[in-house]
Structure 1
Amino acid sequence: MNWKKSLRAAGLVTALTFSLVGCNTEGSYSPQEIIDHALQETKEPLTYYGEYTMDMGEAGGKAQVKEWSKDGKRRIETISENGEHNIAVNNGSQIIMYDVVKNTVHKIDISKDGLDDFPSQRDQLEILFNTVKDTHDVKIAGEEKIAGRDTYKIVAKAKKNDTLIGDIEVWVDKKTWVTLKTITNSAGNKMTTEYTKLDDSAKIDDAQFTIDIPKDAKVEEISVPESESVKLDTVKEQLGEFLMVPEENGLTLDGISLDKGIEDRSEYTFNYSKNGQQNISVTVFKANSNANKVEPVFGEKEMDIRGQKGSVMDENKFRSISWQENGYQYSIFIGNSELTIEDLVTYAKQMTIVK
């Protein structure tokens, strides 16, 4: 599991456009009530055409975006300040991404397994607020107009400075509950998304959710990688001698999964439970001494683990420790949110060599 890559992407996820729908009622609301409305599932997705700007700072620069949404389908056209031009369409069964400049197309089939790896805008906002509900103070900061529409402004201020996700500002449309503007500070990078136009009475033709792909375009079908369940003997054959947390004091190994990581390396994840509940997950793979050094993510700190120079991440309900030892890279993650970094270090100290 490439968790550092996932953490770096978290900031970009929060910068995406949130096309969220709820019902409109009169009266004053608490921040949580506004969020609940924005996250509320509806029988009929909102149909609209929108235009917005994205400023992703050093992570990605600035871009102008056009968006069409109808019956759960979406089309997004993006033109960046450096001349990149991309068109992405989700037609309900397939995601098609067309790079106009490079004349390349990537297609992803989403009809079988759903969108677990491609969360909806509603899901993204829900993940964001669930992540910060215990680490940030959330309040209503007034009412403002964005793209000529009345909005509630919600501010989530981080309770401490050295956190992966910093202060967040969100402007939610009073009528549609679409999030019209967001400002996030994640992994040390400020990102701003702001609608300049939102037309919720637009007539959108289904043809918008198709792309006329040139005959000379390079087309690639992308499959979503799946984890493979493996036996301990298989891991031993592939890795040789490595460290493993023993099944002691009620800790039980539920299973081992194999994932293909960076450069197609084999990463093995050991999932443990205790008292019938998920407890920890441990990943191990052969370290590549020639690989480019991965810079620490914001909020990651150094710590001595098993006499080795390691790192820890302690962010709300996400805690992990990582280190290299005898040519292997190890990470231990919490499966039980009550566990502390000290608990993970204790598990690391208990690890023994398997042959």
Structure 2
Amino acid sequence: MVPATTRAALTAVALGTLVLLSGVGASATVAQQPPAVDRPTHDGQLTTASVNDSTVPDGEEIVERFEQRLVSLETVVMRYEMTMRFGNRTTTTERKLWVDRENDRIRTETETNRTDLTTVRNETAIVTYDAESNQVRRIERSSETTPKTLIGPLVNGSELTYEGRERVGGEPTYRLDAEPTNSAGSGSIDVTLWLDQETYFPTRIATVTETGGDEVTTTIRIRNVTLNEPIPDDRFTIDVPKDADRREHSVPDRSTYDSLPALRENTARSVPEPDIPDAYTFEEGVVTTGADGDSVSLQYAAGDESFRVVTRPATGYDLGEVEALEEVDIGNETGYYTEYEYGGATTAVLVLPCENATHSIYGDLSKDASIDIAESFGCE
């Protein structure tokens, strides 16, 4: 299990990327043309624009034009600067990005005083070359196990709300708030976009993620944008020196089963036999085979509610150091519990580290029910 603070940071980055380049079907929640807003922001560079302009489209039309812009994207070339703040730590990364949506290809270049990294994702592989260490890593792609480009839905959808007009760096923009409709239990997330008034493409994206009392803010500033212009094919290849250190990696195999007996026959991992609450039934199981062994995920459902029991190789994390997690007794073992509020629902997460495996239980459960399920199989 990824520690809570790291998970929050990853969520913020993923959502920022989602609203930038995904093709999600977003539903619009738009009041009548609201006044321009002057909200405090973390960088303090926003100023209010005048609203006395009858030529400005109304909020619903602005949301529709943004959705149309996402749908119409074929290629994107841009630079962006991403700043992440967590506690007293601030990191800033600047990258160049090329996206070919039609052919499912991406290239990124990251260059700092310590990093010179190029990653290309094309039809057959993901290749990363680190010029500083002269090392290249290659992961073969497969349509079954590798998701599509950033255009693909990292989150199933967002509800967009038009908030008004603001100036960002002296340039007029439209401001939208995006509420993810599926947070995967990752806590409270606020996403804000500022759109160029001519192209309806974001010039800035900000996310604020709160989980377990921790807050991570991520700001993406976008510039030098070119949309729907041809990108040469050689942009999606890397000329790697012959003497580079080459490392091959494979994508984990993933198999889905609709019965527990079939799953057990196809994994070397010991599969838990949890005592589940009344009304819940087994829905599906997934076996993922990686370099460290099999991971098994069992999903149970009762109507619209569901939970998962996941067993994976021991992680080695000291979860006792994560402040967001509460220690709980699981028989003679120690488990770690937390829960997240999102969209009016509570997601429970319980982790039970054992010597040879780590078990996780998460979903629409109470704390007591989560503990009861963990106690039913324990560290067998």
Residues 244 and 199 (structure 1), Cα distance of their counterparts in 2 relative to 1, 3 Å cut: same
Q: Residue 340 of structure 2: which of 296, 302, 314 is its match?
A: 314
| Structure 1: tracts of 5 or more residues without a match | none
**Which consecutive aligned stretches of 4+ in structure 1 deviate over 6 angstroms post-superposition?**
295-298
Letter of the 2:243 partner, please give it.
D
Q: Residue 376 of structure 2: which of 348, 351, 354 is its match?
A: 351
- What is the CA deviation profile of residues 29-64 of structure 1, one whole-angstrom value per residue up to 9, with x for unaligned ones? 14xx65565445877534343222222346782222
- What percentage of residue pairs aligned between the two structures are identical? 19
| Structure 2: tracts of 5 or more residues without a match | 25-54, 181-185
Alignment of 1:2-17 (within 5 A): 8-16=9-17
Residues 248 and 156 (structure 1), Cα distance of their counterparts in 2 relative to 1, 3 Å cut: closer
Q: Is the 8 A contact 1:151 1:172 kept in 2?
A: yes
Q: Tell me, yes or no, if structure 1 residue 268 matches structure 2 residue 291.
A: no
TM-score (norm 2): 0.67
After TM superposition, give the deviation of residue 194 of structure 1 in Å.
0.5
Partner Cα distance (2:377, 2:203) in 1: 53
Q: Tell me, yes or no, if structure 1 residue 154 matches structure 2 residue 176.
A: yes
Q: Tell me, yes or no, if structure 1 residue 189 matches structure 2 residue 231.
A: no
Alignment of 1:1-355 (within 5 A): 8-16=9-17, 18-19=20-21, 27-30=57-60, 34=62, 37-40=65-68, 45-57=73-85, 61-72=91-102, 73-80=105-112, 82-113=113-144, 115-116=146-147, 120-121=150-151, 123-124=153-154, 129=158, 140-145=163-168, 150-155=172-177, 164-186=187-209, 188-200=215-227, 204-228=231-255, 231=261, 238-239=269-270, 244-246=273-275, 249-260=278-289, 264-274=292-302, 279-285=306-312, 287=314, 291-294=316-319, 300-302=324-326, 304=328, 306=330, 308-316=334-342, 319-324=347-352, 329-334=358-363, 339-342=364-367, 344-345=369-370, 348=373, 351=376
Letter of the 1:302 partner, please give it.
E
- Of stretches 169-178 and 199-208 in structure 1, the one that deviates more from structure 2 is 199-208
Partner Cα distance (2:174, 2:352) in 1: 48
After TM superposition, give the deviation of residue 294 of structure 1 in Å.
4.1
Q: CA RMSD in A?
A: 4.3
- What is the CA deviation profile of residues 141-174 of structure 1, one whole-angstrom value per residue up to 9, with x for unaligned ones? 423356x86431224699xxxx844543321233
Residues 39 and 324 (structure 1), Cα distance of their counterparts in 2 relative to 1, 3 Å cut: same
Q: Secondary structure at the match of 2:57?
A: coil
Letter of the 1:68 partner, please give it.
W
Instruction: State how many pairs are aligned.
Output: 326
After TM superposition, give the deviation of residue 105 of structure 1 in Å.
2.1
Letter of the 1:223 partner, please give it.
S
TM-score (norm 1): 0.70
